[in-house]
Structures are given as C-alpha cells and as structure tokens.
Structure 1
Amino acid sequence: MQPRELLRLWDEAESIWSQRQDDDAFHGYVSADFEAIHHSLRKLRKRTHTFLEWGSGLGVVAIMASRLGFDAYGIEVEPELVALADELAERFAATPTFAVGSFIPDDFDEQLANGDEFHKTVVTDRDAYGELDMELRDFDLVYAYPWPEEHGVFRNIVRTCGAKHTLLLRYDAREGLTLSRPAKNRPEASR
C-alpha cells in the first residue's frame, strides 16, 4: 500500500469508530499504532507467510497484512465488526479472511497456576479456527493487542497451541510492539 492509501485506511477506520463508538459491538474496541505495525509487518514479510490477527475489530491490521502479500486472517467475537471489516477490506482491495468467534483455541488449557488469566477477553464463545479450516499452529505470525493484564496468557496460548515457529507480535500502548517466539523450545506436534 502506498502511504496515501494507508492514511486513507487508518482515517476511514477512525471515522467508523467515531461514528459508532457507542454501539455495543465497539465496547471492547481499541485502536493501535498502525504505522508501527505496518513497519513491523513489512520487515517480517520476508520470513513469514500466514498471518492471523486476534480480536481483529475492523480488520485494519489484517487488511495491511493482506496488501503486503501475507495469507491474512482475522478472528473477532463481534459479528458486526466482522461485517464492517469485510466491507473495509473490499474498499481497499484486500483479501483477508475474517471469522466470527473466539481466537482462544477450544483445546487451550489455561494455566492459572503461573498467574495467567483473562480479565476482559471474551472466553465464552467457541473458537473460530474451524470456520477458517485452520488451527493456530498453521500460522507463522499472530498479531494481538492484549489488555494490559493479559500479555502472559496470550503468550501462553501461542506457546501451548501454536507451532514451534509461530511468532507473536504484541502491541502495548505503553511499550509499543514486542515480537517473540513463545513455543520455540516446545517439540513440534505431529500433524
């Protein structure tokens, strides 16, 4: 995407948020530093192919990933946001696939013993991986913007359910972007 087109995408997402922020579907919606994320995606594109945005909201990050050549996906629990993300992707000639449901794999066993737990993330819905016909371990790169108390549990999800090579790119409003490979020391599961 050209810089002017990126700015249009970010401005359009901000406009949708401004107009609809009081809608129930936008209750947990937060915007990130799209410019920094785009920069990171450009650097990671050379070594990763499949991309997944957890809690994709309006799908801005998945749209950017798609336009950069990733095989891009997004999972969002709010159907209304998925519909808006599909519309936004179409307007920007992007082809990410969005699914409604939870990004937490159904087989994830929360390890509360190490202090990881969910605070605001919706955990009651079934996962959306079946709708994508994929599993978490099928993705090379996962992007997430966890609630401040949930960074550990997000890493734990990738550590226990992702592939050995799966990278986790996390955004934090105070600390910016962090890239890690949570499952690097875990033996690869057979497929």
Structure 2
Amino acid sequence: MLRSIDLPSEIDSIPVPQQTEQGIRLLEQRIQAFQDCWAQSHAEQFVAADYFLVYQTLQWLAKAQPMIGSRFLEWGCGFAAVACLADSLNWNSHAIESHPDLVQQAKQTIQQWSANGQELARVQLFAGNFLPPGAEHLADDPTLPSLYHEGKNPYHAWDLELDDFALVYSYPWPGEDEFHAAVFDRYAAPGAMLLMFLGPNHMQLSRKVND
C-alpha cells in the first residue's frame, strides 16, 4: 500500500541555485518555442510542469526522507527536465519517453544541461513505454492515455525492474493519478517513493509500505 507523506507548506520558498534557475529558464524558452511551432508534429499530451516547484520538492525530499537507494526514474519525461534536475541532485537518473518528437527534445536537454556548471547531465534516456509488462490490467478506464504509449520495454533493456528504483516521478494526465499510483504500488519495492506533479502548486508524495 501507499502512505501519503505531507510536504511542508513553505516548500516553494526553498532557494534554487542560480545555475539551476538559469537552466530552467532556458528550458522553459525551448518548451514555449516547441509549443508555438505549428509546423512541428506535436505531442498533444505534453504539458510542462512547474520545474521550480519540482526541484524544490526534490531538494527537500533528498534531505528530509530516508531513501532505499539512489536510482531515480521519470515516467513520460517529455523534455527530460525533471530527470536532469534529479541528476543535478546526485541521483542515478533514468527517463522514459515514447513520443519521437519529445525523445529528440529530451536528448537535446540532456546534451545541453549542465548539472554544476562543468559536467553535463548523465541521464539514461530510453525511447519506449514506461509501463511494466502487464500493468495495463490495473487500469479501470480503458481510455487512459498511458495505455497507448508505444515502444519497447526499457526495464529489460536496462536489466532493471521497477523495484530497483528508489524514487519515481510522473506528471499524470488528468484522471490518471490513481492508475500511476496503482502501477507503482504493484511493482515498486517497499520503501520506494512516488512523486507526482498534479497541477499548479500541487505536489503529491507517497511511500510504498508493507501491508
């Protein structure tokens, strides 16, 4: 089962390093340009999160919560922004994206992102479906967008399973948060955490615990 973890109300006041702030600002400009380019074959389901709030939450989590390991995974990473932010906080960062246009954007982010002003991000990116094999049966609604992501299984390619990751992040499409939580609860290791961005000023953190 998943146990909710309360986040401090002042989490959005945690300072963001200047280098990270500059990286987020440049990324926001790229995202805006991508969304404004009508000639582009767009990923209609991509919506940018509040990357400042996500980073502040990751900072707090790293200091305030016990971790079962260092592996981080971003489901449906889009531009791989959060995966790069996690890398800058010294997680062993992985990211999965199925849409070809967004995979290319994610590669560009990883190539350009500087974690500390000197080193580039070390994110392992996979073009494929973030759902573990068989996870589709956990969905109550057959129309959920996550059920129709194409691509190969990244876990087999990485020689990892979902229970090898200490922290998973997702920005679920409206109505998908319960499905993402159910998948995590079924396949993640006890002690692992799921962090979801659910909209403006709304982060949700939970930990898998033994029944």
Structure ranking higher on relative contact order (CA contacts 8 Å, 6+ apart): 2
Is 2:210 the partner of 1:185? yes
Please, what TM-score do these two structures have when normalized by structure 2?
0.76
Partner of 1:153: 179
Partner of 2:129: 102
Shift of 1:37: 0.2
Superposed, which structure 2 residues align to 1:88-167 within 5 Å?
88-92=109-113, 93-108=120-135, 110-112=137-139, 115=140, 119-121=144-146, 122-167=148-193
Structure 1's 4 and 178: CA in aligned 2 closer, same or farther, altered over 3 A?
closer
Is 2:86 the partner of 1:40? no
8 Å Cα contact 1:53-1:144 kept in structure 2:
yes
Give the aligned residue type for 2:131.
I
Q: How many residues align?
A: 183
Q: Identical aligned pairs, as a percentage?
A: 28
Partner of 1:67: 88
Determine helix, strand or coil for the equivalent of 2:185: helix
Determine helix, strand or coil for the equivalent of 2:126: strand
Structure 1's 116 and 168: CA in aligned 2 closer, same or farther, altered over 3 A?
farther
Determine helix, strand or coil for the equivalent of 1:148: coil
**Of 75-84 and 18-27, the range deviating more from structure 2:** 18-27
Shift of 1:172: 0.9
8 Å Cα contact 1:171-1:178 kept in structure 2:
yes
Give the aligned residue type for 1:55.
G
Shift of 1:19: 4.4
Shift of 1:138: 0.7
**Matched residues in 1 for 2:27 and 2:177: separation?**
25
Structure 1's 144 and 83: CA in aligned 2 closer, same or farther, altered over 3 A?
same
Unpaired runs of 5+ residues, structure 1, are 187-191
Structure 1's 119 and 107: CA in aligned 2 closer, same or farther, altered over 3 A?
closer
Shift of 1:43: 1.5
Partner of 2:27: 10
Q: Deviations over 1:135-175 (max 9, x none)?
A: 11111110001111111110110111111112110111156
8 Å Cα contact 1:136-1:161 kept in structure 2:
yes
8 Å Cα contact 1:145-1:170 kept in structure 2:
yes
Structure 1's 84 and 175: CA in aligned 2 closer, same or farther, altered over 3 A?
closer
Partner of 2:5: none
CA RMSD of aligned residues (A): 2.3
